[in-house]
Structure 1
Amino acid sequence: MLLFASFFAVFFLICAGLLGRLLVRRRPHATSARPKVSILVPARNEAHHIERCLRSLAQLNYPVEQLEILIGNDASTDNTAAVVQAFIADKPQFRLVQIGGEVGRAKGKSNAIAQLTRHATADYFLLTDADMQLSPNWVQYMLGAAEETVDGRSVGVVTGSTVAHGNLFGRLQGLDWLFGLSVIRVLSDAGLPVTAVGNNMLVTRAAYDSIGGYETLAFQITEDLQLFACIVNAGWGYRNLWHKHALGVSAAQPTVKALLEQRKRWMRGTTRLPWYLSGLFGLYGLFYMVLFFPPWVAWPLTPLIFGAKMLLQTLYLWISLRQVGRRESWPVLLLYEFYLAGMSLLVLGYTLLPGQIRWKERRYAWAEV
C-alpha cells in the first residue's frame, strides 16, 4: 500500500507541476523584417494531400518576392509531380525540385531535405511536410523567434505546434499530437531541450551548415530529432512556439494500420529522447499497470484516482487547445483517455512484433535507423 500511495503521489505532483507550467508561456512575436526565406517541402507519393499544403503556402502573408518555396519530388510513383506542376504554373515563388540519388550518408526524407538545402538560396530554412496546412502568419512568427537569443546563444532552430484534423479518429490523433507537443513545449520553456518537429520547423542556414548538414550525419529515421539534437549540441539556442500563428494542421492517418506504422517509426525515436521526457512518458505509461495490478490496487480508491487523472488530463488538453486557438468538445476530450490507453497498448505490441519499419513506401531495419 505504501508503494501504491508513493507512486500516485509522485504521479499527481508531476501532473500538477506540468499543468502549472503550462499556464506560463513566452508570448511569440512576429518580426517586422522581411528577409528572404526558403520553404522546403519534401514529398513522396503525396498527390492526395499536397495541394492542400501548397494552397496554404500560397496564402502566406509574406512578400511573394521574399519567398522561395521548394517542393522536392522524392521519387514519387503517383502523380505528385503533376499535381505540383499544375498548381505552381503561375506562381513564381514555387519551384519543383526532382530529388536524385543519395548524397553522403543521407537517406529517405533526410536525403530529400539535404538536396533541397543545396537548391535553397536564403539564410532561413522553413521545413514542413506535404500533408500540412500552415497559418498565414507562420513565416513572420517563426522568424520572430529566430531573432531572439537564449542564454546568450543565437537561436538556430525553432519548432511550432501541430494538431491533426479529420473525422473523430483524426481529431483524437490531433489531441495526441497536442498532448505530446505541449509537454515538450513545457519542458523546453523550462530550459530542458527535447526535440523539434520536422513538419513545422525553422533552421537557420548558419546552424545547419555548422553541423555539416544531413549528408554528414549517420542516418536516423527520426531525422527531425537528430537535427535538433546536433544543432543544440553545437551550441545554438532553440525556441518552441505555442501559438495559433505557429500552428500547423496535419492530415490524420486514415486507418489504424497506417497509424501503427507511423508510431512504430516514432517509437524508434523515443530510444534517443532525453531521459526526463522518456521518464515522464514511462511514468504515464505505468499508471494503469499500477492502478489495476492486483497486489497494489485499493479498489475503493480506484474510481477516485481514475477520475483525478481524467480531470487533470482533460484540463491540460483544454488549456493547450485554447493556447493554440483550437476548440474541441468535452465528450471528445474525455474519450481521449480511452483512445490513449488502447492505442498505447496497440503501439507497444506492434512495435515489438518482428519486421521492418515501413515509411513512405520504403523499408528500414530497426538496427539501421
Structure 2
Amino acid sequence: MIDILNVGLGFILVWVLINSFFMPRLVKRPMEQNDQEQELVSILIPMRNEENNVAPLIHSLARLTYQNVEFIFLNDQSTDDTLLRLKEMIHTLPNASVIEGKELPAKWVGKVHACHQLSRHANGHYFFFLDADITLQPHTIEALLQQVRPKHLGLVSGFPKFPVKGTAWLCQLLVPMQHVIIYLHLPLFLANYTRMPMASAAHGSFLFFSRTCYEAIGGHKAIYNSLTEDIQLMRNSKKAGFTTRLVNNTGVASCVMYDTNGEVWAGFSKNSFPGIGRSYILGGCLLLFYLVAFVAPFFFALYGLLTFHLQFILPYVLTVLMMVWINAQAKQRLVLSLLVPFSALSLMSLLLYSMLLSKRAGYTWKGRVYK
C-alpha cells in the first residue's frame, strides 16, 4: 500500500510541476510603440463595512503609474465609517467618485449587485473590478494591458499573493490552500488555452475585463444570484467566444483577505461547496482524496519515524515538496508547507460545514444571508 501511495503522490507532484508552467506570470515589460496609447481604464471597487481598508487601498491606488484612469467606489450600505473615510481621502485620487449603493433586490447577491451598479457608471474601455482589501504595485495596469492587447483578451484574473502573518491560525492553514486548488485541481492548459467553460477559475478581487467582453456576457446582471460570481464570469466569457487568462499576479497584487478566524471560516464556507457546483458526489470524492493524499502521509511519517521504516516517511516528504513548489509560485511563506496535513484537515472540515449550510441555514456574509 505504501508503495502505491508513493507512486501516486509522485505522479501528483510531477503534475503540479508541469501544470504550473501553463499559468503566465504577470510582469511589466518595456513598452513598445503601439502600447503607448492610453485607453481609459475604469477601476471599480465595491465597499461594504470596509472602514479599515479605505486608507491602505487609496494609498495603493494613488501610486498607480497608468495615467488614463477613473476611480469609482460604491458604498454598499455600510453601517460603519466606510463612507466617511472615503469622503475624507478621495481627493488624493484623480478622477475619482463615490456612489451610494441601492437597496439589495430580492435574490441578488450583495457583491454582484454592487459590481453591477459600478459598471453602469463606468466609462472606460476596460473595467477593472477590485476588492477593498487588495494592494497593487504601481505598474499593474501596464502589465495587464501588455497581456490583454496583443491577444485581445476578454477577461484576465489571478489569485493575488495572500499575506497570512498574524494570530488568526485558520489564515495560516486555509488561505494558502487557494493556490493549491488552482495548481492541483485545475488543468491550466485547458483553462488558459482553450475556451472550455468547465476549466475555469478566477478571483473576484482581481477581474480585468475589456468593456466589449463585459457587455457581451451581460455583466454581473447575468449572474445576479451567484455566490461564485468570479468563476461564472470567466465561464460566461468563454461561452461568448472570448479568450481569457488566469495569470500569476502575485508579483503585482496582494490581498489580506481576513483578520480573524471567524472571518476565515465564514468567508471560505460561503464559497467552498458552491464553488464545486454544490455536488455532493464531487464533495465526497474530494474529502476522500484529501484524506488519502494529504492527511494519511503525516501519520505514515510518524509510524516511519517510530519504527525506522523510512519508506513510510516518503509520502509526507512528497506532499511537503508539492506545497513548497506551490507556495514558491504564490510567494507564500515556505515554512507553511510543513503544515499541509493540518491545512487539508481544515479544508475538509470547512467543506463538510459548507455542505451542511447549503441544506440548512444558508450562507451568511457581511450581515446578509444567502441560500
**What TM-score do you get using the length of structure 1 for normalisation?**
0.82
2:317 counterpart of 1:307: yes
Partner of 2:48: 44
* Aligned partner letter, 1:175: P
Is 1:145 the equivalent of 2:147? yes
Cα drift, residue 116 of structure 1? 0.5
- Alpha-carbon separation, structure 1, partners of 2:105 and 2:62: 30
Q: CA 1:199/1:135 → structure 2, altered by over 3 Å: closer, same or farther?
A: same
The aligned residue for residue 17 of structure 1 is 15
Amino acid at match of 2:354: T
Q: Which of the numbers 255, 258, 264 marks the counterpart of 1:259?
A: 264
Q: Which amino acid aligns with 2:264?
A: L
Distance 1:17 1:158 in 2: 24
**Which of 312, 323, 326 is the equivalent residue of 1:316?**
326
Alpha carbons of structure 1 residues 280 and 240: separation in structure 2 relative to 1, 3 Å: farther
Q: Is contact 1:261–1:359 with CA below 8 Å preserved after alignment?
A: yes
Deviation track 1:45-73 (CA, whole Å, cap 9, x = no partner) reads 1111122112111110111xx11111111
CA distance in 2, matches of 1:129, 1:140: 19
2:131 counterpart of 1:129 = yes
The reply to whether residue 167 of structure 1 matches residue 156 of structure 2 is no
Q: Which residue of 2 is the match for residue 113 of structure 1?
A: 115
Q: Which amino acid aligns with 1:53?
A: L
- Whole-angstrom CA distance in 1 between matches of 2:129 and 2:21: 28
The aligned residue for residue 176 of structure 1 is 177
Distance 1:344 1:268 in 2: 11
Matched residues, number: 345
How many Å apart are 1:89 and its aligned residue?
A: 2.7
The one-letter amino acid paired with 2:161 is V
Aligned counterparts of 2:291 and 2:207: Cα–Cα separation in 1? 28
Alignment-derived partner of residue 230 in structure 1: 236
Change (3 A) 1:128 1:356: same
Give the corresponding residue for 1:221. Answer: 227
Q: Deviations over 1:164-194 (max 9, x none)?
A: 2232644555533443344558453464632
SS for the counterpart of 2:255 is: strand
Q: Which moved more, 1:23-32 or 1:188-197?
A: 23-32
Aligned to 1:346: 349
* SS, match of residue 77 in structure 1: coil
> Could you say if the C-alpha distance between residues 269 and 78 of structure 1 is closer, same or farther in structure 2, counting changes exceeding 3 Å?
same
What's the TM-score, normalizing by structure 2? 0.81
Report the CA distance shift for 1:93/1:177 in structure 2 as closer, same or farther (over 3 A).
Answer: farther
The CA distance in 2 between the partners of 1:212 and 1:17, in whole Å, is 36
Of stretches 89-98 and 347-356 in structure 1, the one that deviates more from structure 2 is 347-356
Aligned to 2:89: 87
Given the alignment of the two structures, is residue 98 of structure 1 paired with residue 100 of structure 2, yes or no?
yes
Distance 1:242 1:303, change over 3 A: same
Change (3 A) 1:292 1:84: closer
Q: Given the alignment of the two structures, is residue 69 of structure 1 paired with residue 71 of structure 2, yes or no?
A: yes
Find the counterpart in structure 1 of residue 31 from structure 2: none
Distance 1:99 1:327, change over 3 A: closer
Post-superposition shift, 1:19?
0.9
Distance 1:160 1:34, change over 3 A: farther
2-structure distance, mates of 1:357, 1:260: 11
CA contact (8 A) 1:164 1:177 kept: no
Q: Bigger shift: 140-149 or 112-121?
A: 140-149
User: 1:364 is aligned with what amino acid?
Assistant: Y
Aligned-pair distance for 1:345?
3.4
> Shift of the alpha carbon at 1:267?
1.1
